[in-house]
Amino acid sequence: MAAARGQRGGDRDVPAAPNAAEVTMPIPPISDAPMQRARAIPEAAVARLAVYLRVLSGMAEQGIVTLSSEELAAAAGVNSAKLRKDLSYIGSYGTRGVGYEVSVLVDQIERILGLTRSHSVAVVGIGNLGHALANYGGFPSRGFPVAALFDVDPDLVGVPVGGLPVSHIDDIPRICTEREISIGVIATPPAAAQAVCDRLVAGGVASIVNFAPVVLQVPDHVEVRKVDLAVELQILSFHVARRADSMNVNGSALGNVDGVVIGR
Amino acid sequence: MAAARGQRGGDRDVPAAPNAAEVTMPIPPISDAPMQRARAIPEAAVARLAVYLRVLSGMAEQGIVTLSSEELAAAAGVNSAKLRKDLSYIGSYGTRGVGYEVSVLVDQIERILGLTRSHSVAVVGIGNLGHALANYGGFPSRGFPVAALFDVDPDLVGVPVGGLPVSHIDDIPRICTEREISIGVIATPPAAAQAVCDRLVAGGVASIVNFAPVVLQVPDHVEVRKVDLAVELQILSFHVARRADSMNVNGSALGNVDGVVIGR
DNA sequence: GCGACTTTGTGCATTCGTTCACAAGTGGCT
DNA sequence: AGCCACTTGTGAACGAATGCACAAAGTCGC
């Protein structure tokens, strides 16, 4: 049972809150008192809400005031029923027969995603990628100020990158605590990632984005999201191969090569 | 409709084995020749297989020859039952009472993921991120050679980055066709992404990894995987907020700070 | 060869997520 | 007002993914 269940990335998995378990019982409340049973929002829906938010922001800039689920769904690349359901998790802010008001949705989604507060970010590993991240214009949609940079290289320590001086990774715990870092971004080579991760955790960081191609082992209360280019490429590769195969099978029927059937 | 983004729902069969060397395959004679779309490998499992592959490669380097599902599962951060099921999708290569042979698994996973062929990659947008990608040491786990680089900036065209000269994005269709690019990586600013994507598609690229924070509209046969830092951060933000809320509610009941109620 | 022990592979129940389809509101028009 | 065209919000059906638990299949020691 050693398997730390940290790592959630490619797939979804809700972080069993110690108490949560609020079953989704549609109890028809006789009392209209809106109890705050935080109806759990499916993990997958949260990811999409972030996408809707971005699309909506773009629309707001274009001066669009109102739109229908159908329009927003098209722009976000999802099915409109799914979009409505996703939005329903955060409340009822649409008007039947009309649609949604862009500004209302933006506000509500930001609220749910916790974007009303800002979350300080630390980037560890100032190589090519780290540089890119540190300079990522004010960081993706403001609200995530980069408040610390770290690297092992002594020559890099003190050098300002994107306006912020680099610190040494040994200072991660102290500095993260001091600056109240809430999100750590690991952009180090794979070999260093686990050690860095441990230091971040020691510094009180409970949310980590990991760009290093390693599976991090973390305590239960820490959440890791991994971004893994190699995995993405391999998934694409799989589909390419599959497509090619099915073409062989369907198109030029060159007899069955060898035991293909898997599973019984 | 408006063309969907990547992520296809589970479907179709499994690729054919090129030629199993000396594998003691308990080939299922149940070949009822109707359609050999054996069982499809769930999308989620494919992503994990790529992870297992990396973990296994690391173990191979450490000289580990054999391991149990329990060990591999721990190293990959998943449940062992899930791991076994994932592996079962690609065949039965374990030995009961013993475990799996590392090299066999590596070979089989590589085969299923289509890593026996190499897939040429083109990186578009040679900014900070593009640089990082172009230099990504031989590219994540070889098998994905970077064969083309593109940017709009005329000053950048011709300049070698990571040993390869940058071309102009207007040449994307031609060059992609010439060099048989099978995977395109978009690392441009959001505003340019859709145009770049269209050019890649025109160049016959059917697999795209998109780092730009935009939802790409593509024809059905093109698969897009997006890597979106902003979304990752916002998901983490959501969980942080939720954690904070549940603590307020359960622990020190200091009234509701700001609209926290999620219920309906 | 036999029995104890280990570990795989998978049927089944369960949970999570998506999609359908429609009742319930809303605004506009006559 | 009454009707119509439109769009939301959601119950319920469906489908995918997960985790459990155990039979099957193998190894090892004697």
CB contact under 8 A, B112 and A238: yes
In a domain, B263, yes or no: no
Strand C contacted by A10 CB (< 7 A): no
A134 and A214 together in one domain = yes
- Counting the structural domains of chain B, the total is 2
Interatomic CA distance for residues A199 and A190, integer angstroms: 15
Interatomic CA distance for residues B171 and A133, integer angstroms: 28
Residues forming beta bridges with residue A56, ordered by sequence position: none
In a domain, B63, yes or no: yes
List the structure tokens of A116. Answer: 């009303």
List the structure tokens of B165. Answer: 């000269």
B99 and B150 together in one domain = no
What share of chain B in percent tops pLDDT 70? 77
When CB atoms are compared, the residue of A117, A241, A259 closest to B114 is A241
Between A136 and B106, whose confidence is greater? B106
B127 and B93 together in one domain = no
In a domain, B235, yes or no: no
Interval B99-118 mean pLDDT: 96
A80 and A137 together in one domain = no
Q: What is the pLDDT of residues A48-78, one digit of tens each?
A: 999 999 999 999 999 999 999 999 999 999 9
Shortest distance between the Cα of B51 and any Cα of chain A, in A, equals 7
Q: Of B80, B112, B144, at which residue does a domain stop?
A: B112
Domain span including residue B98: 43-112
In a domain, B182, yes or no: yes
Cβ contacts, strand D, under 7 angstroms: A 11, 13, 26, 68-70, 80-81, 84-85, 87-88, 92-100; B 9-10, 42-45, 78-79, 81-82, 84-85, 95-98, 264
Nearest nucleotide relative to B9: CA against C1' = D16
Give Cα A71 distance to the centre of its chain. Answer: 24
A106 and A82 together in one domain = yes
Q: Of A84, A112, A140, at which residue does a domain stop?
A: A112
CB contact under 8 A, A223 and B239: yes
Residue by residue, DSSP assigns A33-60 as: ------PPPPHHHHHHHHHHHHHHHHHH
How many C-beta atoms surround the C-beta of residue A184 within 10 A? 30
Nearest nucleotide relative to A44: CA against C1' = C17
Interval B103-123 mean pLDDT: 96
When CB atoms are compared, the residue of B31, B75, B230 closest to A50 is B230
B214 and B133 together in one domain = yes
> Of B204, B218, B208, which Cα lies nearest the Cα of B188?
B208
A48 and A79 together in one domain = yes
Residues 153-192 of A with CB under 7 A from strand C: none
> Of A105, A112, A119, which Cα lies nearest the Cα of A57?
A105
CB contact under 8 A, A260 and B44: no
In a domain, A55, yes or no: yes
B134 and B220 together in one domain = yes
Of A208-217, B5-14, B173-182, the range with the lowest mean pLDDT is B5-14
B138 and B220 together in one domain = yes
Tell me the C-alpha to C-alpha distance, in Å, between residue A159 and each of A135, A150, A168, A171, B49: 14, 11, 11, 15, 40
Q: Assign 3-class secondary structure to B199-226.
A: HHHHCCCCEEEECCCCCCCCCCCCEEEE
In a domain, B93, yes or no: yes
Q: Assign 3-class secondary structure to A92-152.
A: CCEECCCEEEHHHHHHHHHHHCCCCCCCCEEEECCCHHHHHHHHCCCCCCCCCCEEEEEEC
Between A191 and B243, whose confidence is greater? A191
Secondary structure letter of residue A180 according to DSSP: T
Confidence class of residue A247 from pLDDT cuts 50, 70 and 90? confident
> Taking a C-beta distance cutoff of 8 angstroms, is the pair A86, A68 a contact?
no
**What's the confidence (pLDDT) of residue B243?**
85
A150 and A219 together in one domain = yes
pLDDT at B98 over 70: yes
Interval B75-91 mean pLDDT: 96
**What's the confidence (pLDDT) of residue A40?**
86
Residue by residue, DSSP assigns A54-96 as: HHHHHHHHTT--EE-HHHHHHHHTS-HHHHHHHHHHH---EET
Q: What is the pLDDT of residues A121-148, one digit of tens each?
A: 999 999 999 999 998 765 656 789 999 9
CB contact under 8 A, A213 and B140: yes
pLDDT at A208 over 50: yes
A74 and A165 together in one domain = no
B57 and B128 together in one domain = no
Of A8-17, A121-130, B235-244, the range with the lowest mean pLDDT is A8-17
Residues 80-109 of B with CB under 7 A from strand C: 80-81, 84-85, 87-88, 92-100
When CB atoms are compared, the residue of A3, A15, A243 closest to B74 is A3
Interval B157-162 mean pLDDT: 95
Shortest distance between the Cα of A165 and any Cα of chain B, in A, equals 18
Between B228 and B243, whose confidence is greater? B228
In a domain, A23, yes or no: no
In a domain, B23, yes or no: no
Identify the CATH number of the domain in which residue B160 sits. 3.40.50.720
**What's the confidence (pLDDT) of residue B250?**
56
Q: What is the pLDDT of residues A16-31, one digit of tens each?
A: 333 333 333 333 333 3
Identify the CATH number of the domain in which residue A80 sits. 1.10.10.10
Tell which strand D nucleotides have any atom below 7 Å from a protein Cβ: 5-11, 15-21, 24-27
Interatomic CA distance for residues B2 and B120, integer angstroms: 28
